[in-house]
């Protein structure tokens, strides 16, 4: 069994599946489709995909054994290693399961059809401790503004087609909003956000803040356009395409005092109103994440499994998402023995040259074999022909010899009869005179 601190995860992206089997969890989760909106039951499902990883070289030093990628300045933050190590020079590995060259090994691929449930668990736990205050204030309510299925807009296109509204998966884990000209939300009408806003408005500007904290009231996002709101969403949500530990942490809370500040404002800001469970007060541990549900350093991967309907993503699911170009290129990097799923160009070229060379050699060998076989057949035919001619000639000579023997025999027969007659005559002439006849 792996230690929870040696496990990591990352968002893969979203996919569209129009062939969902009966009995899918969607039918059993009415709370995921709450509200007044009506949905098309024919709509194709949208799934969120993520992957879990494990560091097999983990040495047991918790969060202080890793450095974490900062996507804004594109550097590795080793503050946890420096703080927890106290200058002893321990292991400080990269939390890099999002890279082709990762040292992490894959544990599994997973999917959720109710992406709102998945987002809720992520946002109020690890999200609160990773995002900035402003990002969390926006994102905690923005997830409720997303359409949860293929939704009628009540309008038609210039061709009289009824228009529907749903999320559209983008490359490398992103999503946007789009209009569709069919009730399955597959025939895209437009994803131009200005046109979308002209028909459905800006859903983000109308959401109500959720969760137990109310500091989101200090931010007003209602005046933004849909284009601006989606840009704000993308900036925050793309954080999850980077490798994160399963155990939530807060790099800004190195000394553990962030959530235990004595000032009344900060005490209410960080600690006030948490009524969903957990510790109710921060513990003051280094890099402690005291989340919006009142838990400290929660295991986010466990929350995905225990608090949502999670399914194993199959090879079919991954292939479908890959063909839709909605998951990152490094998705399989930790699966194929830490080798990139996409080979480099020169490697592809070298493989092609080697294949063509082998093919040419094979064709030449086949041609040579066919030529040799043809020559062998020709030689065999000539040999058989020669034998047949020789045999015919022998038969002819034997026939001639038989004829000659018959002629000689005939002559011998004739000569013998004549000779007998002559001998008889000679014997008669030689009889004595006194012989009595």
Crossing angle of helices 226-237 and 193-200, in 10° steps, is 120
Contact yes or no for 178/188 (Cβ under 8 A): yes
Contact yes or no for 327/318 (Cβ under 8 A): yes
Place of tokens 């005291």: 290
Give the per-residue pLDDT at 355: 81
pLDDT digits (tens, 9 = 90+) for 345-357: 556 667 777 888 8
- Measuring CA to CA, how many Å separate 116 from each of 25, 31, 80, 148? 13, 10, 32, 7
Give the per-residue pLDDT at 153: 96
Q: Give the torsion sign (CA, 349, 355, 359, 365).
A: positive
Contacts of 238 (CB under 8 A, 6+ apart): 71, 172, 173, 174
Give the per-residue pLDDT at 348: 63
Residues of the chain short of pLDDT 70, as ranges, are: 21-41, 85-89, 207-217, 261-280, 329-349, 368, 370-437
Give the per-residue pLDDT at 375: 59
Task: Give the up-direction half-sphere exposure of residue 125: CA atoms within 13 A in the CB hemisphere.
Answer: 24
Q: Tokens standing for 193?
A: 């956000």
Q: How far apart are CA 356 and CA 270, in angstroms?
A: 65
Give the per-residue pLDDT at 357: 80
Q: Which helix (H) or strand (E) holds 154?
A: strand 151-156
Q: Which helix (H) or strand (E) holds 199?
A: helix 193-200
Give the per-residue pLDDT at 25: 52
Give the per-residue pLDDT at 338: 40
Q: Beta strand pairing status for 93-94 and 7-17? A: unpaired
Give the per-residue pLDDT at 390: 62
Provide the greatest CA pair distance for the chain: 190
Give the per-residue pLDDT at 227: 96
Place of tokens 């020169």: 346
Q: How far apart are CA 287 and CA 409, in angstroms?
A: 131
Give the per-residue pLDDT at 3: 95
Q: How far apart are CA 419 and CA 412, in angstroms?
A: 10
Contact yes or no for 201/179 (Cβ under 8 A): no
Q: Give the residue from 230, 135, 150 showing the smallest Cα distance to 182.
A: 150
Q: Tokens standing for 313?
A: 């993503």
Q: Is 157 helix (H, G, I), strand (E, B) or coil?
A: coil
Q: How far apart are CA 399 and CA 396, in angstroms?
A: 5
Q: Give the residue from 180, 278, 175 showing the smallest Cα distance to 236.
A: 175
Burial annotation 386-425 (CB, 10 A radius, 16+ → b, else e): eeeeeeeeeeeeeeeeeeeeeeeeeeeeeeeeeeeeeeee
Q: Give the torsion sign (CA, 259, 96, 12, 26).
A: negative
- For the CA atoms of 359, 362, 363, 365, the dihedral, rounded to the nearest 10 degrees, stands at 160
Q: How far apart are CA 306 and CA 275, in angstroms?
A: 20
- Distance, C-alpha 337 to centroid of its chain: 15
Q: Tokens standing for 124?
A: 């109020």
Give the per-residue pLDDT at 120: 96
């Amino acid at each position: 069994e792996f230690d929870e601190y040696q496990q990591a995860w990352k968002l893969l992206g979203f996919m569209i599946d129009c062939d969902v089997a009966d009995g899918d969890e969607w039918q059993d989760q009415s709370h995921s489709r709450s509200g007044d909106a009506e949905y098309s039951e024919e709509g194709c499902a949208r799934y969120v995909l993520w992957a879990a990883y494990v560091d097999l070289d983990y040495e047991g030093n918790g969060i202080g054994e890793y450095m974490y990628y900062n996507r804004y300045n594109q550097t590795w933050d080793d503050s946890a290693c420096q703080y927890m190590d106290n200058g002893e020079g321990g292991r400080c590995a990269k939390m890099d399961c999002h890279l082709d060259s990762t040292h992490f090994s894959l544990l599994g691929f997973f999917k959720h059809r109710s992406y709102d449930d998945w987002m809720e668990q992520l946002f109020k736990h690890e999200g609160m401790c990773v995002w900035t205050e402003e990002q969390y204030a926006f994102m905690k309510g923005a997830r409720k503004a997303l359409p949860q299925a293929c939704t009628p807009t009540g309008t038609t296109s210039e061709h009289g087609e009824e228009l529907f509204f749903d999320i559209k998966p983008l490359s490398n884990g992103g999503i946007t909003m789009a209009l569709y000209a069919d009730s399955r939300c597959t025939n895209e009408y437009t994803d131009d956000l200005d046109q979308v806003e002209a028909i459905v408005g800006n859903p983000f500007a109308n959401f109500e803040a959720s969760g137990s904290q109310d500091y989101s009231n200090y931010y007003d996002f209602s005046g933004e356009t849909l284009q601006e709101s989606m840009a704000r969403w993308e900036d925050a949500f793309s954080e999850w395409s980077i490798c994160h530990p399963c155990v939530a942490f807060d790099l800004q809370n190195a000394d553990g005092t962030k959530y235990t500040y004595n000032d009344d404002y900060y005490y209410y800001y960080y600690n006030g109103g948490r009524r969903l469970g957990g510790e109710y007060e921060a513990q003051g541990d280094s890099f402690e994440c005291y989340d919006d549900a009142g838990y400290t350093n929660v295991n986010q991967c466990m929350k995905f499994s225990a608090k949502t309907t999670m399914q194993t993503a199959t090879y079919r699911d991954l292939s479908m998402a890959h063909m839709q170009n909605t998951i990152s290129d490094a998705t399989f990097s930790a699966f194929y023995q830490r080798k990139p799923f996409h080979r480099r160009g020169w490697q592809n070229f070298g493989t092609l040259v080697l294949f063509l060379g082998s093919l040419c050699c094979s064709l030449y060998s086949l041609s040579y074999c066919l030529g040799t076989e043809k020559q062998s057949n020709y030689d065999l035919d000539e040999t058989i022909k020669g034998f047949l001619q020789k045999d015919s000639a022998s038969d002819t000579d034997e026939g001639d010899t038989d004829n000659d023997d018959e002629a000689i025999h005939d002559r011998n027969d004739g000569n013998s009869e004549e000779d007998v007659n002559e001998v008889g005559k000679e014997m008669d002439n030689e009889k004595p005179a006194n012989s009595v006849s």
